[in-house]
Amino acid sequence: MEKLQPARLERVAYGTPYSAAFDDVYHSALGGPAQTHHVFLAGNELPQRWQGRERFVILETGFGTGLNFLVTWQAWRDDPQRCRRLHFISFEKHPFTASDLAACQQTWPEFAELATELQQKWPPLVPGMHRLQLADGQVILTLVFGDAATQLRAIDASVDAFFLDGFSPPKNPELWSPHFCKGLARLTAPGATLATWSVAGHVRQALKDAEFDVEKRPGYANKRQMLVGRFRSRRPDRHVTPSERRAIVIGAGIAGSTTACALAAAGWQVTVLEQAGEPGQGASSNLAGMLRPLPSADDNRLSRLTRAGFLATRALLAGLPEARWSPCGVLHLAREPEHEAQQRRTVEQLGLPPEVLQFVDAEKASQLLGQPVGIGGWWFPGGGWVQPPSVCRAALAAFPERIDLRLNATVAGIKRPKSEWQALAADGSVLAEAPVLVMASGVAAPGFEQFAWLPQRSGRGQVSHLPADAAPALNTVLFQIGYAVPAVDGLSLIGASLSYADDDTDERTADHADNLARLRLTLPDFAAGTDPATLHGRVGFRPMSPDRLPIVGAVPDLAAATPNTRLHNLPRQPGLWCVQGFGARGIVWSALMADLLVSQLEGEPLPLERDLVDALDPGRFLLKVARQPAAEAEDSA
């Protein structure tokens, strides 16, 4: 992974922001917003082209100060005929810190309200894709922190308008090359347009070679000319919007609840069927669980996904005030000195901002925890504990007019007799019917005929609850060999055991003793004198996938699939989807996977890079073994 280098705010004439890295200004010294209106909005025939549309997707090649985005958002907001959802995808190799971004945007007081909302949701400067839900989820900004020249291929979207606004071709040639222009063409929706202030001959030729018909138009202010273009190919759109927005979600654990919430936010009517009497009673039933990413020196897929998931969960929790959680931080101590050195090197190599990840020595770790420890490790200041059942309840209550939660509704089977899926009770009666069915039932999924092939196994886990006064007070979540959570409702939670091929639902004294023993490797006097036989806790069964990654997407049609089929050509069962295989990471995966699933259903830009989407695809297990993704190390640092 290439370290992200933030932009350094410098100014030139008229206070115009300037990039020393590219020796160029971010926008016109005179009339920046007016230039955006003239070049990018009018050049792409906006707002007219988005009017009356279900959605409209814009891709910009350089976010910079955010001026183009703010102008576009304002124009969308001011348009009574605006599209239902506006997607804006933008790349930035050197993003500004939140404070520098705010300083830049003070130049335009007319956008103060929008700029404030953007700044409040501005993500930490870590590589990858960041999905920002603005204007109550009607404006969706997807920021790609990285080099557009290499990251363009990671995008999966159908783009209606391109704002080509990288630094000038002589200063930043990669963003104007024939190769890059062909990459843009891959993303075009039918009738896609582009606009740019650059009229350089080689830029015009590169765009023509990529099937764009281009023409010069009068430029803005002292710029005599600008360029507009339209994609000439009439290929069909692969990202069509659904004709009906009705779905069944089986399971009201954290996977199903967050998926139902995301569907409802996108305008779907959702029926959630849950066999228990309350949401979040299966694997999501713990008093509290840990929220933190899992870094690795090589920034592997597991690391990238947990980092993206961690940030997505934080964003979801900010929008669910009834969800219980505490950003008390997570202290992940090294197992032994060699591991400690490895953790330190990982932090140095990744170069992530300190609000995301730090290395702390034993002394600092002891201060943070409030208890003496003998070794250092990773410190996640933005991590903490989350109470999964409260997230389930809050997510399901977020859209009461669109989510129909049916408790004590045991689904015995599913079938699709015609064009709609049916969820059936044991007596064969139809519990619910809809064009789309999402399986989110955790360990129960392979019991359904359509999911019998799913290579998911059940991992039995037992956590232990101790009276708060029996355990030392902790300031943060602690993880080393075992984990412990600061007291919640008068109880300290420690855990967790893990065993396979084990369906015993009863608590076991041996597992309580094992949980205590592992904590005492970190804190030798932890709960001294506590008899494991007196403890109570919770037993849950985690849906574990072979490669430790979630299983999310459209469900393959086994009868029509062959092992030699490429992933994207695998036949799928119409309307059948799943969010499965979260293992012990339901908290960190759930919000991101719900966003991914709904984006796929809606045909909208995806919130993850294409290689990560493929790594999660249920069809990956049906391909030849040689093509299957290798399992990521559980803790490679």
Confidence of residue 635 (pLDDT cuts 50, 70, 90): very low
Q: Is residue 322 part of a domain?
A: no
Residues 401 and 439 in one domain: yes
Q: Is residue 634 part of a domain?
A: no
Give yes or no for residue 518 having a pLDDT over 50: yes
Q: Is residue 399 part of a domain?
A: yes
More confident residue, 559 or 440: 440
For residue 542, give Cα distances in angstroms to 111, 453, 633. Answer: 47, 18, 18
DSSP β-ladder status, 358-360 and 377-380 = antiparallel
Peptide bond into 496 cis (omega under 30): yes
Q: How many domains does the chain have?
A: 3
**422 close to 246: Cβ distance less than 8 angstroms:** no
Query: Which of 488, 509, 541 is the C-terminal boundary of a domain?
Result: 541
Residue partners of 299: CB distance under 8 A and separation at least 6: 1, 127, 350
Residues 92 and 198 in one domain: yes
Nearest CA to 291 out of 592, 613, 595, 499 is that of 592
Residues 57 and 154 in one domain: yes
Q: Is residue 496 part of a domain?
A: yes
- Both tokens of 298, joined, read 């090589």
Give yes or no for residue 318 having a pLDDT over 70: yes
Tell me the residue type at 437: L
Q: Is residue 214 part of a domain?
A: yes
Residues 223 and 333 in one domain: no
Q: What is the mean pLDDT of residues 295-303?
A: 95
Residues 367 and 420 in one domain: no
Residues 60 and 130 in one domain: yes
SS3 595: helix
Give yes or no for residue 142 having a pLDDT over 90: yes
Return the bridge partners of 465, or none. Answer: 493, 536
pLDDT at 9: 76
User: CB neighbours (10 Å) of residue 50?
Assistant: 25
Query: pTM for the whole thing?
Result: 0.94
Confidence of residue 323 (pLDDT cuts 50, 70, 90): very high
pLDDT at 78: 97
Distance CA 182, CA 207 (A): 8
Query: Which of 522, 541, 560 is the C-terminal boundary of a domain?
Result: 541
pLDDT in tens, 174-209: 778 899 999 999 999 999 999 998 888 989 999 999
Residues 210 and 142 in one domain: yes
Q: What is the mean pLDDT of residues 388-406?
A: 97
Residues 396 and 440 in one domain: yes
pLDDT at 169: 65
Residues 194 and 224 in one domain: yes
Q: Is residue 298 part of a domain?
A: no
pLDDT at 636: 36
User: CB neighbours (10 Å) of residue 210?
Assistant: 23
Query: Which of 541, 558, 587 is the C-terminal boundary of a domain?
Result: 541
- Both tokens of 189, joined, read 């929706």
Distance CA 148, CA 61 (A): 7
**572 close to 557: Cβ distance less than 8 angstroms:** yes
- Both tokens of 10, joined, read 């410098």
- Both tokens of 285, joined, read 């039933």
Distance CA 166, CA 309 (A): 29
Give yes or no for residue 628 having a pLDDT over 80: no
Give the CATH number for residue 57.
Answer: 3.40.50.150
pLDDT in tens, 2-61: 788 888 777 655 556 555 555 555 555 555 899 999 999 999 999 999 999 999 999 999
pLDDT in tens, 460-474: 999 999 998 888 899
pLDDT at 21: 58
Give yes or no for residue 384 having a pLDDT over 90: yes
Q: Is residue 239 part of a domain?
A: no
SS3 255: helix
**627 close to 619: Cβ distance less than 8 angstroms:** no
Q: What is the mean pLDDT of residues 139-144?
A: 98
Residues 468 and 439 in one domain: no
Per-chain mean pLDDT for the chain: 91
pLDDT at 20: 59
What angle do the packed helices 586-602 and 388-397 form, to 10 degrees?
30
Q: Is residue 296 part of a domain?
A: no
For residue 242, give Cα distances in angstroms to 55, 82, 320. Answer: 12, 19, 27
pLDDT at 624: 57
pLDDT at 173: 65
pLDDT in tens, 429-455: 999 999 999 999 999 999 999 999 999
pLDDT at 626: 35
How many Å is the Cα radius of gyration of the chain?
Answer: 26
Residue partners of 539: CB distance under 8 A and separation at least 6: 460, 461, 462, 504, 505, 506, 507
DSSP β-ladder status, 403-406 and 269-273 = parallel
**588 close to 477: Cβ distance less than 8 angstroms:** no
Give the CATH number for residue 335.
Answer: 3.30.9.10
Query: Which residue range(s) make up the domain with 46?
Result: 10-231
**225 close to 199: Cβ distance less than 8 angstroms:** yes
Distance CA 489, CA 629 (A): 42
pLDDT at 5: 87
- Both tokens of 193, joined, read 């347009």
Give the CATH number for residue 425.
Answer: 3.50.50.60
C-alpha angle 232/64/186, rounded to 5°? 25
User: Nearest 5°: phi and psi at 210?
Assistant: -95, 20
Residues 273 and 339 in one domain: no
pLDDT at 285: 86
Q: What is the mean pLDDT of residues 543-560?
A: 92
Q: Is 374 exposed, middle or buried (0-12, 13-18, 19+ CB in 10 A)?
A: exposed
Least confident span in 80-94, 180-194, 204-218, 561-575: 561-575
Residues 126 and 19 in one domain: yes
pLDDT in tens, 225-273: 999 999 997 777 878 889 899 999 999 999 999 999 999 999 999 999 9
